[in-house]
Structure 1
Amino acid sequence: MQNPRLTPNQIYEFLDLGYLKIQLQHGVLGKDFAARMFERAREAYSRADLESHHQNRIAHIADEGVDSLPEVKQLHSSPEINGALTSLLGHDFYRYRHSFIHRADQFDQSFHKDSPLPWGTKGGIRSHKLEWTMAFYYPQDTTLALGPTEILPGSQYWNVDRLGSGNTYGEDRLGLDFERENVGSSPDLELRDKHLETQRQSLDEYIEPLRLEVNANSLVLVHFDLFHRGTRMTCGGERYMFKFWYTRTSEPEPASEQTSASYQPKDSRRQPIVKEIGSWMNLPISKSRGERGSDTSPDCLQDASEANRLCGGYLKARRQDESLIDEACSGIESTRRSAVYALAARPSLAKKAIPRLLNSDSFLDQQCAMFLIGECCDIGHSMVANAVDMTRNEEADASRAAIIALGKIKRRQQHPISEDSHNQIVESLFEVLKDSNKDGAHRQLVYLSLLSFAADSHNTLELDQVVGIEEAVSAETNKYARSTGVEVLARAARVTLNASP
């Protein structure tokens, strides 16, 4: 059965609102599939509830404990899921081996974005390009009383300041006091709701929360960077949700056929971003009714609203406004963030900003330089060398950003990178794997970057490099790094076989 693809309008809707509901059909999965998934979730929690040690408990409801379920394998063989993920992330997307079964209870979560990779750290700058997607699978009818997932539609491009916030989480959270003061478990429900409303308004006064009421056997594709949370149950039932992560390993391919689109973003402040990402994904141009902010003021990146700053920044980038370079180097977190995202949309401007950011004494500026190197296409050999050097930086977040950039350099280029650059990148990634001072988070990123080298037949890994990866994987102690390394080896073998005469 052919994998049904999403329409251009559906993809635009996902880029705009950050989620898309899919009602899975019984044809492939079977009529009793949702009931079987529900029982698997219930059984997993029954085993977990018997454990006194946290790690033993988690083992039943996360990662290998979830992946071992035959129904999960069956779910991922569904043409509907594969077609939708291929539409968003490309034909060679990778399911990252973190998964989790959530069970609703009487508590409330705060609004948060899942941690950027590596998991649990702040080493990665979230790209506006569609790199990661989550899937939420619901095996039961999910009503308001059962505590559905709540999202802030369209919030995937907007973020909050991290510096000075006291945030030690890998996630980005709205309202850190919610966690510190255990507000989510307070018996005062009005207090909880007041805090949550404050969180919403702190991000944007116009955004409206949405609780995902869905039928059994529903899948919701969610942009990885969308603010979301678990809500409390108000009845005595059971509500489970399976969560999975997926990532892109190659650039969007040219459109294979002529199509049309007529989607309009629900918030005009997102329109410049959605238009830019749609163009990068080779979607047909959606006819526009005009964009808010076309008369953007010079100081728009100092606006109090994240949405307004980003809208203004993207429009400045479209005009090739070089003031974005100064704003990226301003040292003001919110201004720098908006400017860097805007620069990423215009490589010609970004390449002018990168040297200034690299020469800064601030590792945060250097991290932004690495991000821009990874976002640009057709960078020169000198910038490859800059990224290689940064992998040796003692500041963990800067070196991790460099590793991410090296993987993206491989696949962002419109023409194959030179053999010298290819070998320089691979050798530096191997150096990280051998460095005893680098932690599992670094190695997770190395293997994710190496996926870009095994994703196609251009400049693929040499035999001795594959052997080196195999040796490193066999000694790997970090489960996420190991599972991704195994995928690199599988893809390298597949590419080699396909290239054989």
Structure 2
Amino acid sequence: MAITNPLLLTDQQMKSFITNGFLILKTDFSKEFHAGLVEQLNEIYDKEGNPGNNLLPRIRDVQRVFENPVIVGALTSVLGPDYLLHTHRHGHYNLSPQPGGWHKDSYWGYDRLRNHHPWWAMIMYFPQDTPLELGPTGVMPGTQYSESRTFAADEMAEEATASGEAGTFALIHYDIWHRSTANVLGRPRFMLKFEFMRTAAPAGPTWDNKEQSWSEVELDSPSSVKSGIVEEEIWNWLSGNVGSLAGSKAEDEAAISKLVTQLEGDNEPSALAAAYELAARGSGGKDVLLKALHHDKVSVSRLAAYGLSVAGASVIPDLIAALDDSREETVNHAAFALGELRDLAQAAVPKLNALLDQPSAKVRRTVMDVLGMIGVPTDAVVAGLIKGLQDEDEQVRFTAGLSLTRIGTEAEAAVPYLEESLADENRYVRGHALEALRYIGTKEANEVLMKELFNTRWCSTTTPASTF
């Protein structure tokens, strides 16, 4: 069902999302709708267990949730109108009187560099009234850009929870630190988790944008999280501005020297802010970041990659040169930064494709993601992604499929290889191949897609107790 009037986020809501890493919103379904949804969930969990990735076809009413204008509008605002509902989805069932552990969700492992720019987001949907005592999801505001868990036990009062009436949902940055809270009522608490991916880089604001400047937007309610240069850059990126920090501040030697100390320090949020600040400090700041990319401490190299990823076109030749480095982490970090510079980095594509012969699966996975972000020249990018579809590493293969969704119709040459991927033993390689075929959308792609969907169609009402 097409949503003609999605309820887009306001400037204030977008600033809150960028700063805090989450928004708590609510759909407008009736109590009877949610009561029926919870009844179905209880019956299925009792008799069949968790339906996992089959959550949508098994409980058809859930699809109505993701067609709701509030949810469509929130996702469109953050991820653009062509966002992808990921193949992985999961119904979380909480009866534990103890809170869960703080964590970030993985990307099928924890060794991938996480994007500060919102290429991914999650929705956690609560189909029943969920007071604090029932154990809603808790999030730690402002931690979406921190690799390490930097908050201490005495800061737990700042935890935010997705408590509320049936129909409440949390829209969260994929990388925020979160946990389940204690369910002390002893009644089942369901939370339906879905992942979403941006398939096109932002060319301009896709929310209900009124103000052009980050500083002109005032939050509706005060936030305990202080925003700074990182958050402002992300606002600019979402507004369609790539490398907006480059040269935006004076090239001050004393300031740069202080920022170097900050970059190499132990306080991660402060070090990350320094990386972004250095990106704004002209050629002097750029040179510091390029040197730091080769730093003995891999953590400093990673922070430098974030700074270089927002430093504009002038850093691209040096990043391409860094792809020849002997250290795996340096190569990986350089490739990541090139991807965030998108089509500005198209000169890097030949060397990125050459890295697909690298023994490091970590590097090859990053290259698959990066090629889809750069996107041009199309023929060379698609050739690299086709090679990725045939890689020995399953994560390389399924990342190739996701990246092909970002290329769309111009990836038609990949269709025969995607058809072969539909026989892959890994469910996500198959799932991402289907998505790639859908986004390519040519006659040949659609024929392959429809044949596969009909061959593997699943009856949502067939159960062990009702086989025909």
Deviation digits for residues 460-500 of structure 1 (CA, Å, limit 9, x no counterpart)? 123x432332x223322221221221122122226999xxx
Q: Would the aligned equivalents of 1:22 and 1:218 in 2 still touch at CA under 8 Å?
A: yes
Greater mean alpha carbon deviation, residues 385-394 or residues 266-275: 266-275
- Letter aligned with residue 235 of structure 2: G
d(CA) in 2 for partners of 1:283, 1:452: 16
Deviation at 1:36, TM superposition (A): 2.0
Q: Give 1:440's aligned residue.
A: 394
Distance 1:150 1:386, change over 3 A: same
The match for 2:103 is 112
Structure-to-structure mapping, 1:42-191, within 5 angstroms: 42-48=42-48, 60-104=50-94, 105-116=96-107, 119=108, 121-160=109-148, 174=149
**CA distance 1:472–1:130, change in 2 (3 Å):** same
Of the three residues 174, 177, 186, the one matched with 1:227 is 177
Corresponding residue to 1:7 among 10, 20, 45? 10
Contact 1:200 1:207 in 2 (8 A): no
Q: Which runs of 5+ in 1 are unaligned?
A: 49-56, 161-173, 175-198, 286-292, 411-416
Check the 8 A contact 2:279/2:289 in 1, yes or no.
Answer: yes
Question: How far 1:25 moved relative to its partner?
Answer: 0.8
AA partner of residue 101 (structure 1): G
Which residue of structure 1 lines up, in the alignment, with residue 385 of structure 2?
429
Question: CA distance change for structure 1 residues 389 and 273 in 2, over 3 Å: closer, same or farther?
Answer: same
Contact 2:298–2:329 (CA<8 Å) still a contact in 1? no
Q: Does residue 14 of structure 2 align to residue 24 of structure 1?
A: no
The CA distance in 1 between the partners of 2:203 and 2:255, in whole Å, is 30
Residue 4 of structure 1 and its aligned partner are, at CA, apart by 1.4
Provide closer, same or farther for how the CA distance between residues 123 and 390 of structure 1 changes in structure 2, counting only shifts above 3 A.
farther
Where in structure 2 are the equivalents of 1:414-425 lying within 5 Å? Answer: 417=376, 421-425=377-381
Q: What pairs with 1:390-469 in structure 2 (closer than 5 Å)?
A: 390-410=355-375, 417=376, 421-435=377-391, 438-454=392-408, 460-462=410-412, 464-469=413-418
Structure 2 counterpart of 1:478, from 418, 423, 426 = 426
CA contact (8 A) 2:98 2:183 kept: yes
Shift of 1:132: 0.4
**Cα deviation 1:435-467 (Å, max 9, x = unaligned):** 4xx13222110100100111xx6xx123x4323
Aligned partner of residue 151 in structure 2, secondary structure: helix
* Deviation per residue, 1:41-75 (Å, 9 max, x gap): 22232135xxxxxxxx5xx3311144431011111
Equivalenced residues, count: 421
Q: CA deviation at 1:356?
A: 5.0
Tell me the secondary structure at the aligned position of residue 221 of structure 1.
strand
Question: Is the Cα–Cα contact under 8 Å of residues 135 and 222 in structure 1 kept in the other structure?
Answer: yes
Distance 2:383 2:240 in 1: 36
The answer as to whether partners of 2:424 and 2:430 remain within 8 angstroms in 1 is yes
Higher relative contact order (CA 8 A, sep 6+): 1
- Cα-to-partner distance string for 1:64-94 (whole Å, 9 max, x where unaligned): 1444310111111112111111111011000
Q: Which structure 2 residues correspond to residues 222-301 of structure 1 after superposition, within 5 A? A: 222-255=172-205, 259-260=210-211, 261-263=216-218, 266=223, 270-282=227-239, 296-301=258-263
Structure 1 pair 206/213, CA: closer, same or farther in 2 (3 Å)? closer
Relative to structure 1, the CA distance from residue 113 to residue 319 in structure 2 (aligned partners, 3 Å threshold; closer, same or farther) is same
| C-alpha separation in 1, matches of 2:372 and 2:157 | 35
With over 3 angstroms needed to count, the CA separation of the structure-2 counterparts of 1:233 and 1:467, relative to structure 1, is same
| CA shift digits 1:288-346 (9 cap, x unpaired) | xxxxx988543111222111111122111111202111112103133222221111111
Check whether the contact 1:294–1:315 (CA below 8 A) recurs between aligned residues: no
Q: Percent identity?
A: 27
How many Å apart are 1:205 and its aligned residue? 6.6
1:317 is matched with 279
The alignment yields a C-alpha RMSD, in angstroms, of: 2.9
Distance change in 2, residues 1:314/1:223 (3 Å): same
Confirm or deny: 8 A CA contact 1:270 1:307 kept in the other structure.
no
Taking structure 1 as the reference length, the TM-score comes to 0.77
Give, in whole Å, the separation in 1 of the partners of 2:432 and 2:64.
Answer: 21
CA distance, structure 1, for counterparts of residue 345 and residue 313 of structure 2? 12
Alignment gaps of 5+ in structure 2: 245-253, 446-468
**Equivalent-residue separation in structure 1 for 2:158 and 2:313 (angstroms):** 36
Q: 1:494 to 1:34 in 2, by over 3 A?
A: farther
> In the TM superposition, what is the alpha-carbon distance from 1:269 to its structure 2 partner?
5.5
Q: For residues 13 and 153 of structure 1, what CA distance do their matches in structure 2 show? A: 10
Does the CA contact (< 8 Å) of 1:9 and 1:263 recur in 2? Answer: yes
Matches within 5 A, 1:352-363: 352-355=317-320, 357-363=322-328
Change (3 A) 1:215 1:441: same
Asked if structure 1 preserves the Cα contact closer than 8 Å seen for 2:365 and 2:396, the reply is yes
Instruction: Answer whether contact 1:249 1:451 (CA < 8 A) is retained.
Output: yes
Letter in 1 for 2:103: H
Cα distance between partner residues in 1 of 2:20 and 2:161: 13
SS at match of 1:385: helix
TM-score by length of 2: 0.82
What's 1:488 paired with?
436
